[in-house]
Amino acid sequence: MIRLCAFRRNKLQELENKFRGLEWAIDRGVFLFVRLPWAERLIGRVLAANAGILLESLETLEKQRLMKVGMIRSSFGTQALMVTSVVLALLETFAASSPAVAQEKPAASRPIPAIVEQHGRFALMVDGAPYLELGMQANNSSAWPAYLDKVWPAAERLHANTVELPIYWEQLEETQGKFDFSVVDLILKQAREHHVRLVLLWFGTWKNGSSHYTPEWIKADQGKYPFVVGKDGKTVDSPSPFSPERPEADKTAFRTLMRHLKQADPERTVILVQVENESGEWGGVRDYGPEAEKAFTGQVPSALAKGLGKQAGTWSQVFGEDADETFMAWYIATYIEQVAAAGKQEYGLPLYVNAALRDPFHPGKAPGYESGAPTDNNIDLWKIAAPSISVVAPDIYMAEYAKYMKAMELYKRNNNALLIPETGNTEAFARYVFAAIGQGAIGWAPFGLDLTRYSNQTSGPEAMEADALKPVAAQFELLAPIARKLAAGNLAGMVRGASEDPDEHTQTLDFDRWQVVLEYGMPSFGNWMKPKGNTPPDGGAVILELGSDEYLVAGHHVRVDFKPTFAPGKKRLWMSVEEGSYDAAGKWKMARVWNGDQTDYGLNLKADENLLLKVKLTTY
């Protein structure tokens, strides 16, 4: 539990004076606290008023050995509880004044990973602190014992902190009712040995709209476990959500898997579970089997009609030309809800579904895209139908800048954390990690970057060699050391980021007082030329606000500068620019100070260097 270390009384007084009137800071995220000796009582109140998030923050601080300060000023006016808070950077300032209190938590007492929301911003909490998934997804057939040694070295080369691996229903329950956890257990063990977290993908009823991962005893009994029937009466290679037996079988399997994880993973190696994979139907818009037909003539369930603000009626009356697709989405989503709820009841890990996307600008109509899937037009429906699913996540395989940005915009919602569990694995995609983080993503993972040499590109290399990992590895190497800070910063609204747009060589990012200006294709020396862009456009940056005039800058192939928007007519003056790194306890270690040519023309970050810059600003 939480332990507090107090400062001497006069130090407390000094802190209290310093932070008087900083109520805004609580809005930006984070920290507390408590005027001793009422510490515990006030923590209780704070938690009650803030639904648990502050407890997580406490644990963050504790974990990062920054839990030094006990100081709170509280007032109980007509408003809710107001707490004067202290920002992390300021805590760091005082870190030396008191002994550290953090202890490595025993595995069994680690909190279950959770997704928390604050003012429409999200964090994936792992070990009680915000966590940014810098992930990789292995190829579909790589999660077999004989091939796992092609996965972990890839994660290491990539500097990934998380590996996404499928769990195959056909392996887990080869014989109905008999569960074989040997592969799951091996994956857990090897992930821990390789110091990565896991996102497990339940390849159950749906895999890319089909059902190819179901065990043979299901495939062999198509009477009991029917396929979708197309409009023309022909069988479609997609599982029908209308069989009563199929969801029961899937629920049993998923529930058993989650029960096993609960007891096999007190270390919380598994941080997220994906339920099914790109569920939906390809090759048709809906099921026309007898059960489906009966349901289609019935009324739209009132939860859906009400939830979407529609009048009651049949599917055709309520949804018109979108009736078939919406109908299919509802029945797939409610099926998956049953599976998810059964698993979540056993073990409350955060669950998500992933979507094969429609074109974000010219979507057309299903079946031009996967029908019934969690596509952007059906996110609201999925939220209503599947409350056990925490996140509806886009698999972004569109390399064009505008489409990538739009896809993120469509899935980033006040009620939906942005999580990109699959994205393209070529050089063109690598830079998008910066924009994804800038949009508050809790995770970003290119697909198919293991060392099995499989290539999922339709035009490109026949075999992916180790060099194919390099573009993503370069970004993760830069970002991995600050991943936790970025995740905490994102929850607090203190992160911005961008990826190079091939058509606009200057981008701006707005903080409260400063605008960050990013220019692509500039030399390191000189400011009298116009940015011409990089070839290929591989630049990007993330900026983390550490204090009101203090920022952490990380990027590749970009020039970074700042403009004081709070002081019209004034110009930016570097107070200091430090190059450095964070030590294991999260404390900044300066390596050198940049000045002269290194700062006169902005901060020029090269494509092949991994530099962190801590920038303090003023004006003249």
Contact residues toward ligand DGJ (CB under 6 A) are 140, 208, 277-278, 395, 422, 447-448, 456
DSSP string, 153-203: HHHHHHT-SEEEEEEEHHHHTSBTTB---HHHHHHHHHHHHTT-EEEEEEE
Beta-bridge partner residues of 429: none
For ligand DGJ, give the closer residue by CB, 97 or 456: 456
Q: How near is the Cβ of 494 to ligand DGJ at its closest, in Å?
A: 32
DSSP string, 322-361: GHHHHHHHHHHHHHHHHHHHHHHHH----EEEEEEPPPSS
For ligand DGJ, give the closer residue by CB, 85 or 208: 208
Residue 369's SS3 state is coil
Beta-bridge partner residues of 16: none
For ligand DGJ, give the closer residue by CB, 140 or 269: 140
For ligand DGJ, give the closer residue by CB, 93 or 141: 141
DSSP string, 216-236: HHHHT-TTTSPEEE-TTSPEE
CA–CA distance, 117 with 134 (Å, rounded to integer): 20
Neighbours of 314 (CB within 10 A): 14
For ligand DGJ, give the closer residue by CB, 235 or 457: 457
| 571: enclosing H helix or E strand | none
DSSP character at residue 480: G
Neighbours of 609 (CB within 10 A): 12
Q: How near is the Cβ of 431 to ligand DGJ at its closest, in Å?
A: 21
Residue 374's SS3 state is coil
CA–CA distance, 81 with 104 (Å, rounded to integer): 32
For ligand DGJ, give the closer residue by CB, 103 or 456: 456
For ligand DGJ, give the closer residue by CB, 250 or 324: 250
Q: How near is the Cβ of 342 to ligand DGJ at its closest, in Å?
A: 23
What ranges make up the beta strands (E) of 404-499? 419-423, 443-446, 495-499
Q: How near is the Cβ of 163 to ligand DGJ at its closest, in Å?
A: 14
DSSP character at residue 482: G
CA–CA distance, 14 with 445 (Å, rounded to integer): 45
Tell me the longest C-alpha to C-alpha distance in the chain.
Answer: 82
DSSP character at residue 467: G
Q: How near is the Cβ of 436 to ligand DGJ at its closest, in Å?
A: 17
Q: How near is the Cβ of 468 to ligand DGJ at its closest, in Å?
A: 14
Q: How near is the Cβ of 353 to ligand DGJ at its closest, in Å?
A: 11
For ligand DGJ, give the closer residue by CB, 278 or 519: 278
3-state helix, strand, coil in the chain (%, to 5): 35, 25, 40
Q: How near is the Cβ of 206 to ligand DGJ at its closest, in Å?
A: 10
Q: How near is the Cβ of 138 to ligand DGJ at its closest, in Å?
A: 10
Q: List the structure tokens of 212.
A: 């190819």
Q: How near is the Cβ of 382 to ligand DGJ at its closest, in Å?
A: 16
For ligand DGJ, give the closer residue by CB, 316 or 455: 455
CA–CA distance, 512 with 59 (Å, rounded to integer): 28
For ligand DGJ, give the closer residue by CB, 277 or 326: 277
Neighbours of 582 (CB within 10 A): 17
For ligand DGJ, give the closer residue by CB, 86 or 201: 201
Q: How near is the Cβ of 204 to ligand DGJ at its closest, in Å?
A: 13
